[in-house]
Structure formats: C-alpha cells, structure tokens
Amino acid sequence: PQTIAVVLSKLRPEHAARVLSILPEELALDVVARMLRMEAVQKDVIERVEQTLRTEFMSNLSQTRRRDAHEVMAEIFNNFDRQTETRFLTALEEDNRESAERIKTLMFTFDDLIKLDAGSAQTLMRHIDKDKLGVSLKGASEAVRQFFLSNMSTRAAKMLVDDMQAMGPVRLRDVDEAQVLLVNLAKDLAAKGEIVIAKQRGDEELIY
C-alpha cells in the first residue's frame, strides 16, 4: 500500500482517481490514508520507483516540490464519479473527519461553478461543446441550471433547454463525465487567466 500511495501521489489526478476507483475498497482507503499522512519521500526511493513504474501518463516522480497532501487528494476526489466520491468521503469521515472536511473544503465541484461571475461563465460556455453542456446540466440542481441559462441569450437558452428535453434519459456516468469535463475546463481557463474562480473557505477567499 505504501508503494501505491507514493506512486499515486505523483500521478495526474484523473489517473490516480481511476486507479483508486478500481482497487478493492479496503486497500483503496488504506492508500488514501497513507497519502494524507505521507512525509517527503527520499529522492533515491522515488527514482527507483520511477525506473520500475515509469509510464507515459505519469508525471516526473523525482520532482522535489512538495504539495499539500489534502490539496492533492482534493484534486483526485474531483475526478471521481459522484458515487465513488460519496463512498470515499463517507468512509474517510468515519476514519478521519478532520481530513474529510478539509478535502471537501478544497474540492472545486460542479456546483461551485455558480460562483463564477457572468463574464467568466460566458467565457466557459464559449469553450464547451453545447451537447456536453446539456448533458452536464441534465444532472444539475435547479440553481446551477438556472445560473447557466441566465448567462445565455433568451434564444440560446431556449435552444439548450429544447436540446436537453430531446436527449431523453441519460446515463449517470455520462452526466458525471460531462460535469468533470466542465470543471476541469474551468480550472484550465483559470490557470490561463481567462476566467477567475473564487471559492469561499470560511472567511478566507481562495483564488485559483
């Protein structure tokens, strides 16, 4: 489990999430716990692991910059489908409520998109395929749905609603994937300075 924890802490979040979701639950939760309390690992250990496990989708394991374990885990949880996310958070709350609460605070979720200002919301929608937007909103709360529709022209909003109705039932997995895609796109645009994502943590505002 410790080797898995070391490797997953260096993978891109979407890959780490995929691995955790297919591990046996007891092992996966053990790995999560180890990742959260992991200390800096000796460079020679990391280099040996990298030589053995190097793959094209892994980031450079010997990278020395240390990131907060809860931030890393929050990014991984952001890439879970909602059922897996709920399962892991529930189990973690039972084992370590403080860590679970911190991860939830650091997570940027689909529902947080309503905190975008109007300009950022419109920029985001210009970069997303309208079919994907429609699928993501099929599983959204009324507040999130109205937020996006209110940032469109009346004609565009009506067309989107009509398209959503024409879709009929959609698979939960497809909704989850579309919502993750939208969240990751928002974070990418924020990293480029094209939009601003502000999230409240208590009385402290976090700007991504």
92-135 pLDDT, tens digit each: 999 889 999 999 888 888 988 999 999 999 999 999 999 999 99
Cβ partners under 8 Å of residue 17, min gap 6: 76, 77, 78, 79, 80, 84
pLDDT greater than 70 at residue 201? no
The CATH number for 110-207, chosen from 3.90.1300.10, 3.30.450.40, 1.20.140.10, 1.10.220.30, is: 1.10.220.30
2-106 matches 110-207 in fold: yes
- The mean pLDDT of 145-174, rounded to a whole number, is 94
For 2-106, CATH gives 1.10.220.30
43-60-177-159 Cα dihedral, nearest 10 degrees: 140
Q: Let me know how long the chain is.
A: 208
Closest C-alpha to 5, from 29, 32, 39: 32
pTM equals 0.62
Mean pLDDT across the chain:
83
pLDDT greater than 60 at residue 143? yes
25-38 pLDDT, tens digit each: 899 999 998 888 87
Q: Where in the chain are the domains?
A: 2-106, 110-207
Residue type, 161: V
Closest C-alpha to 182, from 112, 88, 119, 118: 112
pLDDT greater than 70 at residue 202? no
